[in-house]
Structure 1
Amino acid sequence: MPSLHYTLTPIPHRHLFQIDLQIRNTRGTALSLYLPNWIAGSYMIRDFAQHIVSISAHDDKGAIDLRPTSQHSWSTPDFVGHLNIRYEVFAHDTSVRTAFLDGNGGFFNATSLCLTAHELAMQPHHLHLNAPVDYPNWQVATTLPRADGTWARDFGEHKAHNYDELTDHPVRFGDLTWLEFSSHGVLHEVALAGTLPYLDKNRLVTDLHSICAAQLALFEPQNPTQAPFKRYVFMVDVRSSGYGGLEHRSSTALLCERGDLPVVAHAEKPRNDSYINFLGLCSHEYFHSWNVKRIKPANFVQYDLTRITDTSLLWFFEGVTSYYDDLIMYRVGILDAAQYLKKLENGYNSVVRHDGANRQTVHDSGYYAWTKYYQTSANTPNAVVSYYSKGALIALAMDLFIRNHSESKHSLDDVMRDLWMRFGRDFYQLYPQGAAQGVTEADIIQSVARFSTANDTEVHAFFQNALHSTNALPLPELLTQHGMLISEPKSSIAQLGASTKKVDGGWQIQRVLNGSAAQQAGLAPDDVLIAFDTLRLNQSPDDTLAKINIGVEVSVYYFRDDVLQKTKLVNAPAPHGVYEWRLAEGQKDVFNII
């Protein structure tokens, strides 16, 4: 019998999971039980235990007291043999990070439902998922291994060698739409939850197949059939609104809108932007199967899901993944040169147009992700740089740096394969024995140096500038050598320099950018703009200012805390100009990167 055995019973009409946990203890000592505070891939303390509705314990002799030791942990009495714990968890969060259950289906990550014991975390964990009453057509999508060794889609018994494995295989169930394809002989499945009467299944399968095949070949060019998994599942929750993804070792949980998916009626039309963005999300999460799930930061080799962990390498594990998600789509032809160029341009401008890039290093962006990136405020654009966006630019700069210092014989691809061979390929074979190795910043720098003719001083200067300073990246110079040009910053049309949303009676300010016309005028978040020069704002503030000459003074009427206010605003362009990226004359491919 496994050390921990869970029986999960969904109760859809109450949005509850009832969990019966049986623990086998041969030590005769107390156990420290806990539910995680965060989930790998989403770096914010989430207090999953807050959703536990009730909890009790008993053994063969009767009730046992569980002593709470924190908001998310309990201590058992000393015992030998079996202890039974029953608890209920409320599940009504549609995000990819937690758990959800209603009459249309369910989804969960074990981090939201499954208590474990610190002392038994490396022991086997088995899970039996009961079929809910009155839902005979529901099926199950998960890569959590079946106890019988099959890949059946029905409810039943599953097994994990340890708690880390249990938490890395989410489960979706309901009335699912299934798609299948094989990439380099590896089975891939798409399990879609939601109403999809017009889905173009052929197009979705074709596009995902090309993305997966390219990534398998990138990491194992000699033998792409040597995938890090025997089977991969895209679990897609399709809703009226929502967007997101979370990576796992052989699956991904995705959330998208119905309009993000291709429809049969548009089969002959070019892919629209929302569908391309969805494919980019799939590409991103699939790439994580290598980069972060197996090529891991040293601090992630043994997760401590109870407290904040050092995440200063997110620039690499999210930024490099963000670089490759679009690059792969360009390589396989989903994006043409113009589309890919525009994505690079947008990514560049998203970083340089906000003052956060001048205030925070990308190293610190990752380190403080828990409290700054994931807990945004009205001042976030002025104080925080995205480790996704700037990390992707650093990945581009690394790629070009290697190419420029190897006569294009090597690229960032070689670095990824090197890290894969040294740290990733055998990670889960070595993990149970405690011999798995994680990646440090020094390892990344060493690998880049290995494929470059640049001397140590040049390599370290590059990374010091990119990671530990707020200086501009040397992209204009690097790109010029590959037939790519970046314009001088161009002043855009007049802008308020603040994000706004339409509310009853006007336009409410959400964020004010440093150096903007709005900031100079003393406007603040939550102010509700109602009129410029005594004329009601029937259009957005930016659309209105675009009709007024630069330098003209405008009277701004607004409510602050329901009190009418007035200020003067000098019409001006956004504080940071917009850059345009283009290919040099005669150049057809984006810096010859294919």
Structure 2
Amino acid sequence: MKLSPIHYTLSPADPKGHLYEVTLTISQPATPVQTVSLPNWIPGSYLIRDFAKHLIEVRANTQSGQHVELVSLDKSTWQFASDGAPVVLSYKVYAWDLSVRGAHFDETHGFFNGTSVFLGVDGQEQQACTLELLSTEFCVNQDWRVATGMPALSVDDRGYGLYEAEDYAALIDYPFEMGTYTEIHFEACGIPHRMVLTGLFNIDTQRLKQDLIKICETEIRLFGGEAPMESYLFQVMVTGSDYGGLEHRNSTALMCSRDDLPYVGMEEATEGYLQFLELCSHEYFHLWNVKRIQPKVYQQSDLKEPAYTNQLWWFEGITSYYDALILLRAGIIDAQQYLKVLAEQMTRVYRMPGRFKQSAAESSWLTWTKFYQQDENAPNAIISYYTKGSLIALGLDLTIRQHTQNRKSLDDVLLHLWNHYGQTGQGLEEYEIESICSQVSGLDLSEFFENYLYGTQDLPFADWLPLEGVSFGLRAPTSLTDKGGEAQGSLLPAHLGANLADTEHQTVKVTHVWQGQAAYQAGLAAGDEILALNGLKTASSSVIEKQLKRINLQNTSVSWSCHYFRRDELRQAQIELQPALHDRVELQLNAESQSAWLLLDDSQQNKTA
């Protein structure tokens, strides 16, 4: 079988050393010099990660084995002199990043993204690429199989062999999973889907399968009923506590806790399981909104330098709004359960003082630093374009529905973008989405975007939601870990104004301090370890919570003495307690509500779209 002019081999060579061995054959290098490079970031994750730091022993030779001098131009780019004859580059990749963004390899499984392992041939990015995935003795003995969305040319029954990608951008957009995994097959709207799960876990595969079918079919119908791919793959790495996902053109790489998976005999869906389904819904939604409906600046990026856009509030925020709404529309959760999830999502915004200092548009623009490199002051300084973006999406949806008597909704905007941008490959310019929202809805939304997207005002949900039969309120927390929703227990009368975490040596560590609140005024800072309050040992945050519940600030002020370590220095402070902030969102559904927003069935969805 004929190989492409750009041909790779990858061998899972050393599981104990976590090393992949890679070769790149360039049949017709440019003359008089050819450069090769590795991306510095991966699409969908906006941080310079310098994947090239994991490359070892990068060498070049002619096909006959003669050495070719390779010159390093910068941290991720190499160059060699060329007369046009074929050249073979070889290198090793250290793969010990257990995440959805990089490459990982040990005795339990192998996983890699192309951005971590495949050098690109500069100037020949449009060339088709072939990849031969080699099976080693270790892979044979362990009976490892391969799961990927990359088109196969000639592979064995375990998936090893020859694959082809239409160009370099496609090559790096098909992650690979190798190992002994649990596999689930199903069809959604006639399209074959599968999920592979690696790790140690117990699972009710039938329940998960049925829920995935509902999610995928609901989303396909939302975008007009035609899926944008011939097949789809969920790759899931199951661990003790991880969580995350990254979208690809016909697959997604996910991580979840084994406790989040459904188990045989589980009656009510656990909070963890719903969170996992929401993650699946989110990444599947990206098939349309990110992978095909895209900012123009991302289409033009070579992945070497940051690409800046104000539009992530749409691509992540709108996706974050729909991920749980899809569970409602699919019949996996009811309206009250959805409002609980929504209240918790809203609470994550209302607990951030930084929402008054940074707009969602600015959060998107500065994702490379302020969002992806958050520090202990983040709650005071920034807002997330995921969470604030999802509230902007909710506000947009309600505004459009209420001003058009439900003749139009945010669904219509999505379908317009899919028809005119996603299916045509045209990228979105800055500020174009805002004008499209006005165009599709027939409303002048300029003030909406000025106030809530480019400004820092809170959205007036107390005015909007009652029109949908839902009451909106802000209350004090009932505990230090209260995430919002209906109050479970009595409200805390006071709060320290800090996030706390228990340590293994029976102290309580301060992780974040809210500016202007009690801990801030007392001089406490992130990293401090509280030893005692009012002369009593503070072995855990639950001890502090019990003390706070006994406080009465109605008729008197309360001051606590606090002993704590800052680094290795013992310090003392006086904490003047303050009333607990009302920053937990509570949503209540009117039993008589027939809101089209909450009760859309399939026929109404199709009509709206």
Return the TM-score normalized by structure 2. 0.91
Q: Residue 425 in 1 paired to residue 418 in 2?
A: no
Distance in 2 separating the partners of 1:193 and 1:99: 15
One-letter code of the match for 2:178? F
Distance in 2 separating the partners of 1:567 and 1:61: 70
Q: Which 5+ residue runs of structure 1 have no aligned equivalent?
A: 428-436
In the alignment, what sits opposite 1:229? 229
Aligned to 1:579, the other structure's residue is in SS state strand
In the alignment, what sits opposite 1:195? 200
List per-residue Cα deviations over 1:75-106 (Å, max 9, x = no partner): 11123120011100110111000001111210
Q: Is the 8 A contact 2:474 2:582 kept in 1?
A: no
In the alignment, what sits opposite 1:293? 291
One-letter code of the match for 2:418? W
One-letter code of the match for 1:155? Y
Q: Is the 8 A contact 1:514 1:575 kept in 2?
A: no
Distance in 1 separating the partners of 2:111 and 2:118: 13
Quick one: which of 404, 427, 440 aligns to 1:451?
A: 440
One-letter code of the match for 1:88? K
- Structure-2 change in CA distance of 1:270 and 1:467 (3 Å): same
1:317, CA displacement in angstroms?
0.2
Quick one: which of 141, 149, 155 aligns to 2:147?
A: 141
Distance in 1 separating the partners of 2:475 and 2:565: 35
1:170, CA displacement in angstroms?
0.5
Q: Is the 8 A contact 2:497 2:517 kept in 1?
A: yes
1:133, CA displacement in angstroms?
1.4
1:123, CA displacement in angstroms?
0.9
List per-residue Cα deviations over 1:53-93 (Å, max 9, x = no partner): 21111113610111000011111112312001110011011
Distance in 2 separating the partners of 1:151 and 1:135: 13
Quick one: which of 4, 15, 25 aligns to 1:2?
A: 4
Q: Is the 8 A contact 2:112 2:176 kept in 1?
A: yes
List per-residue Cα deviations over 1:407-448 (Å, max 9, x = no partner): 111111110000000000243xxxxxxxxx111343322322
Q: Residue 80 in 1 paired to residue 66 in 2?
A: no
Q: Is the 8 A contact 1:41 1:246 kept in 2?
A: yes
Q: Residue 467 in 1 paired to residue 469 in 2?
A: no
Distance in 1 separating the partners of 2:466 and 2:53: 54
Distance in 2 separating the partners of 1:177 and 1:490: 44
- Structure-2 change in CA distance of 1:484 and 1:553 (3 Å): same
Distance in 1 separating the partners of 2:203 and 2:407: 43
Q: Is the 8 A contact 1:402 1:451 kept in 2?
A: no
Distance in 2 separating the partners of 1:426 and 1:451: 18
Which has the higher mean CA deviation after the structures are superposed, 114-123 or 499-508? 499-508
Q: Residue 564 in 1 paired to residue 566 in 2?
A: no
Distance in 1 separating the partners of 2:341 and 2:90: 50
One-letter code of the match for 1:158? Y
One-letter code of the match for 2:395? A
Distance in 2 separating the partners of 1:388 and 1:448: 19
In the alignment, what sits opposite 1:394? 392
Which has the higher mean CA deviation after the structures are superposed, 527-536 or 491-500? 491-500
Q: Which 5+ residue runs of structure 2 have no aligned equivalent?
A: 478-490, 601-609
Q: Residue 484 in 1 paired to residue 470 in 2?
A: yes
Distance in 2 separating the partners of 1:205 and 1:570: 53
Distance in 2 separating the partners of 1:151 and 1:189: 19
Distance in 1 separating the partners of 2:423 and 2:108: 38
List per-residue Cα deviations over 1:535-592 (Å, max 9, x = no partner): 1113413343222223311111111232221111112234453332112352265844
Q: Residue 23 in 1 paired to residue 21 in 2?
A: no
Q: Residue 157 in 1 paired to residue 159 in 2?
A: no
Distance in 1 separating the partners of 2:461 and 2:156: 47
One-letter code of the match for 2:12? P
Q: Is the 8 A contact 1:260 1:278 kept in 2?
A: yes
One-letter code of the match for 1:405? H
In the alignment, what sits opposite 1:516? 517
List per-residue Cα deviations over 1:437-463 (Å, max 9, x = no partner): 111343322322233243x3xx11111
Aligned to 1:295, the other structure's residue is in SS state coil
In the alignment, what sits opposite 1:96? 100
One-letter code of the match for 2:220? L
Q: Is the 8 A contact 1:545 1:571 kept in 2?
A: no
Q: Residue 50 in 1 paired to residue 53 in 2?
A: yes
Which has the higher mean CA deviation after the structures are superposed, 442-451 or 562-571? 442-451
One-letter code of the match for 1:442? Y
List per-residue Cα deviations over 1:118-177 (Å, max 9, x = no partner): 2111111111100121322111100111124x8965111111111110111101011121
Which has the higher mean CA deviation after the structures are superposed, 348-357 or 442-451? 442-451
One-letter code of the match for 1:239? T
In the alignment, what sits opposite 1:434? none
In the alignment, what sits opposite 1:260? 260
Which has the higher mean CA deviation after the structures are superposed, 404-413 or 386-395? 404-413
Identity over aligned pairs, percent: 39
One-letter code of the match for 1:202? Q
In the alignment, what sits opposite 1:530? 531
Distance in 1 separating the partners of 2:53 and 2:597: 51
Distance in 1 separating the partners of 2:315 and 2:211: 24
Q: Is the 8 A contact 2:147 2:196 kept in 1?
A: yes
Return the TM-score normalized by structure 1. 0.93
- Structure-2 change in CA distance of 1:206 and 1:81 (3 Å): same
Distance in 2 separating the partners of 1:561 and 1:141: 47
Distance in 2 separating the partners of 1:205 and 1:579: 33
Q: Is the 8 A contact 2:29 2:82 kept in 1?
A: no
- Structure-2 change in CA distance of 1:405 and 1:588 (3 Å): closer
Q: Residue 179 in 1 paired to residue 171 in 2?
A: no
List per-residue Cα deviations over 1:275-298 (Å, max 9, x = no partner): 110000000000000000000011
- Structure-2 change in CA distance of 1:377 and 1:363 (3 Å): same
Distance in 2 separating the partners of 1:381 and 1:247: 27
Q: Is the 8 A contact 1:311 1:366 kept in 2?
A: yes
CA RMSD of aligned residues (A): 1.7
Quick one: which of 575, 584, 592 aligns to 1:586?
A: 592
- Structure-2 change in CA distance of 1:239 and 1:452 (3 Å): same
Distance in 1 separating the partners of 2:366 and 2:417: 25
Distance in 1 separating the partners of 2:144 and 2:131: 18
List per-residue Cα deviations over 1:306-359 (Å, max 9, x = no partner): 111113211000000000100000111211111110111111121112111011
Distance in 1 separating the partners of 2:179 and 2:396: 44
Quick one: which of 408, 420, 429 aligns to 1:440?
A: 429
Q: Is the 8 A contact 2:507 2:540 kept in 1?
A: no
- Structure-2 change in CA distance of 1:373 and 1:27 (3 Å): closer
Q: Is the 8 A contact 2:413 2:437 kept in 1?
A: yes
Q: Is the 8 A contact 1:534 1:555 kept in 2?
A: yes
Aligned to 1:555, the other structure's residue is in SS state strand
Distance in 1 separating the partners of 2:474 and 2:597: 19
In the alignment, what sits opposite 2:215? 211
Aligned to 2:578, the other structure's residue is in SS state coil
Distance in 2 separating the partners of 1:385 and 1:574: 21
Distance in 1 separating the partners of 2:217 and 2:157: 25
Distance in 1 separating the partners of 2:537 and 2:295: 54
One-letter code of the match for 2:518? A
Aligned to 1:135, the other structure's residue is in SS state helix
- Structure-2 change in CA distance of 1:573 and 1:467 (3 Å): same
Distance in 1 separating the partners of 2:506 and 2:275: 34
Distance in 2 separating the partners of 1:152 and 1:334: 36
